Amino acid sequence: MRPPSNSLLVADVHCILRWFREVCVFTRNIFLRLSDSRRMEAIVRRTPVSAPLVRRFIAGEAMDDAEACVRELNAKGISATLDYLGENVANADEARESAERCIEVIRLIASRNLDANLSVKLTQIGLDLSTAMATENLRPILEEAGSAGQFVRIDMESSAHVDRTLEVFHALWPEYKNVGLVFQSYLYRTDKDVEQAIREGVRVRLVKGAYDEPPTVAYRNKSDVDASYCRLAQKLLKEGEYPAIATHDVKILNFVKDFCSRENIGPDRFEFQMLYGIRRDLQESLVREGYRMRVYTPFGTQWYGYTMRRLAERPANIWFVAKNLLRR
């Protein structure tokens, strides 16, 4: 019996890879849809898997837990961004309470001398209720951070929130320069948004994007998202104000390092960012290479939506959950 030809073997490999990509896309879409399901949230919170999930991706539920995790990161030469979890609040009282908790985080950072800053989602402080409410609640956060010499990052959420997020930002930007934005490479509009941010001197964190977006507003193919990311990263690194390159993708990390080497862009002109609990080995390796690293460190009780989006991003995260289920 004749062995299969090389061309047939190559065809088989391509077929397997195509199948695997389709499975990953299908799985990603499922978890993104589950991230908005209140019924599934109730089920997940009752199951044993929730405990290892929280430990893996979340710094804990209390502020003391977050402080301990930040101290551990700082000891390794890694900075942190603290995120008090919560989004899409239902009323003005919840929005004000979330804003007050954000101010408490800023005070914690200052009083404990932590190498950290704050990230905030505007839906957490009332954006879905009104842009005026989100602006009113963001102002004291920026005021407190400015008094403490701290920086605040406004997280970007779904495409439906981008214009309103930018409206709130621009209402306060003339008065507060200690605030930056996040842009997502999978959105078609991001080239324009990044160019405007560069003109205004706004600090940008670049991410791929983790929401379930329609093809009318976002790239759906990973190669297109990656190409957009690399193009935007080059522009930010050459022209931007201390950009944050937020990715766990080794190919993109190597692309950025090679680009910076060719363009003589020193490691003091930007920082890499990653998520708490993901690729800790890579985080520490980049620090040893002399790069600045900041880890996005979420904490709080509202961990469900955030965690589902993390599972959607990487098949390895889903395998982690499966292993913990099988052990029980």
Selected residue with higher pLDDT from 236 and 5: 236
Sign of CA dihedral 131, 106, 79, 198: positive
Q: Which of 28, 153, 203, 205 is catalytic?
A: 205
E strand or H helix that includes residue 306: helix 304-313
CA distance 121 to 84: 9
At 40 the pLDDT is 57
At 8 the pLDDT is 45
pLDDT in tens, 109-123: 999 999 999 999 999
CA distance 50 to 45: 6
Enumerate residues 6+ apart whose C-beta is below 8 A from 168: 122, 127, 131, 134, 135, 138, 154
| Stretch 259-277: mean pLDDT | 96
The two structure tokens encoding residue 147:
């008094």
At 5 the pLDDT is 54
At 256 the pLDDT is 98
| Stretch 286-305: mean pLDDT | 89
pLDDT in tens, 214-264: 999 999 999 999 999 999 999 999 999 999 999 999 999 999 999 999 999
At 147 the pLDDT is 98
Q: Which of 83, 155, 193, 226 is catalytic?
A: 155
Q: 310 catalytic, yes or no? A: no
| Stretch 150-162: mean pLDDT | 97
At 312 the pLDDT is 62
At 327 the pLDDT is 44
pLDDT higher than 90, residue 21: no
pLDDT in tens, 77-108: 999 999 998 777 889 999 999 999 999 999 99
Residue type, 90: A
| Stretch 21-37: mean pLDDT | 53
Selected residue with higher pLDDT from 158 and 60: 158
pLDDT in tens, 126-140: 999 999 999 999 999
Provide the whole-model pTM.
Answer: 0.82
Q: 12 catalytic, yes or no? A: no
The overall average pLDDT reported for the chain is 86
User: 271-275 and 179-184: which strand pairing?
Assistant: unpaired
| Stretch 19-29: mean pLDDT | 49
Share of the chain above pLDDT 90, in %: 69
CA distance 263 to 256: 10
Confidence grade of residue 29 (pLDDT, cut at 50, 70, 90):
low
At 23 the pLDDT is 44
Domains of the chain by residue range: 1-51+307-328, 59-302
Selected residue with higher pLDDT from 236 and 6: 236
pLDDT in tens, 161-181: 999 999 999 999 999 999 999
Q: Which fold has domain 59-302?
A: TIM Barrel (3.20.20)
